[in-house]
Amino acid sequence: MRHHPLTHFFFDAFLSATRGRLGYHVWMGCLTFFMLLGAYAYQIQLQEGLVVTGMSDHVSWGMYISNFTFLVGMAAAAVMLVLPTYILDDIDFGKAVLIGEGVAVAALAMCLAFVTVDLGGPHRVWHMIPKIGFFNWPRSLLTWDVLVLNGYLALNLLIPFYLLYRRYTGRQPEKHKYVPFVILSVFWAVGIHLVTAFLYAGLPARPFWHNALLGPRFLASAFAAGPAFIILVLKIINHFTDYSIRTVIFHKLAMITTVAAQINLVMLGSEIFVEFYHPTEHTESAMYLFFGLDGHTALVPWIRTAIVLNIIATLTLSIHRLRHHPIVLPIMGATLFIAVWIEKGMGLVVPGFVPGPLGDIVDYHPSWIEIAVTSGIWAMGFFILSSLIKVAIDIESGRLSAAKRQSGGVTS
């Protein structure tokens, strides 16, 4: 029986994603375990309510929204690969760009999951659907975020799908068909992260967030942590698959990471100066974050670790010989990734709530439920990323194609 090639494409992609060497299965099995653990913890949260988290009326957003914020940046960072490849015709990036878009898709799926698990009434999200419900657009920045995140997800699914499908059917992609969407996605990437920053920066009630530097700083830290993560993924691909990534790609990505990390450090310095040169009542959140307030020091070890890691990674990467070193680069990439995760996650969200608007100082410690759900969602992200990359590599390397299927190359 003959089917449309599109059906074959998805069928072959499914087979590609579910078959592999033992190592691949063990990896996906581990991720599945964490996903199940997260699902179990989430089921408890659904039953009991958000009381099982460490959040309270005082610190009303915690680990979930922290991870959400960080991951929006990861998603936006794909633009750093997309821009040179598709628009500037930099063929060096050609092989890496599909991976970058895979990272964006996985990060966005995680973003949406983190927002959903943070809701008190996830079964009522249909209230947000325009017409059926009430979509408070354009007043609420959260509705802007819903629009830009879903739009960006669509773009990052559409463009790679088109490219891979053309490749699968043995045809050249037609530039006029996809380049307009690529250009759109470049602006959109900046948009998703700025809008997410505006979620916070638009709240005068929280002086720690209410500053104009928040948006630019979000972009700088995203363009540091995102490419750093993509470097790690490419290193792993280079090591474990026959899909070789040329050294020049690593050099270019490392350059982007370094410059963004340097800019991020400058902005951090500027923030610290403004906060502490002449401390006001508005400095108290920063005081709580960096030094602790009235004996409450929950975040101090975290943020200090982040700053130390940040400085080490940025300085190391600034030295050409170290940046080009094949071992030092991924280690420093991982260091930077962790530093930004702390700084922009818990280090950004929690101090906004401490002290509270009436001066209350309440510490926040995530519960095991939050940790389990969070690791479950991260496992889901890696699961999605691994499947997407596996399919993309199989198609790009020519192992998976409509022609192969006809000649019996792929068993079904």
Q: Which residues would be at the binding site for another protein (CB under 8 A)?
A: 43, 46-51, 53, 55-58, 60-61, 115, 118-129, 131-136, 139-143, 146, 199, 202-206, 281, 284, 352-353, 355-360
Lookup result for tokens 């794909």:
78
- In 19-140, which residue ranges form alpha helices assigned H by DSSP? 22-48, 63-76, 79-82, 94-118
- Closest-CA residue to 150 (of 174, 128, 117): 128
Peptide bond into 204 cis (omega under 30): no
How many other CB atoms sit within 10 Å of the CB of residue 367? 17
Asked if 303 contacts 342 with a C-beta cutoff of 8 angstroms, the reply is yes
Write down the least CB distance from residue 357 to another protein, Å.
5
- Closest-CA residue to 214 (of 204, 201, 229): 201
DSSP string over 138-164? TT-HHHHHHHHHHHHHHHHHHHHHHHH
Write down the least CB distance from residue 43 to another protein, Å.
7
Q: Which is nearer to another protein, 136 or 297 (CB)?
A: 136
Write down the least CB distance from residue 65 to another protein, Å.
9
Write down the least CB distance from residue 84 to another protein, Å.
35
Write down the least CB distance from residue 63 to another protein, Å.
14
Q: Which is nearer to another protein, 204 or 408 (CB)?
A: 204
Write down the least CB distance from residue 370 to another protein, Å.
13
Q: Which is nearer to another protein, 242 or 281 (CB)?
A: 281
Q: Which is nearer to another protein, 225 or 293 (CB)?
A: 293
Q: Which is nearer to another protein, 87 or 125 (CB)?
A: 125
Bridge partners of residue 296, in order along the sequence: 293
Q: Which is nearer to another protein, 140 or 318 (CB)?
A: 140
Q: Which residues 6+ apart lie within 8 Å of 10 measured at CB?
A: none
Q: Which amino acid is at 151?
A: G
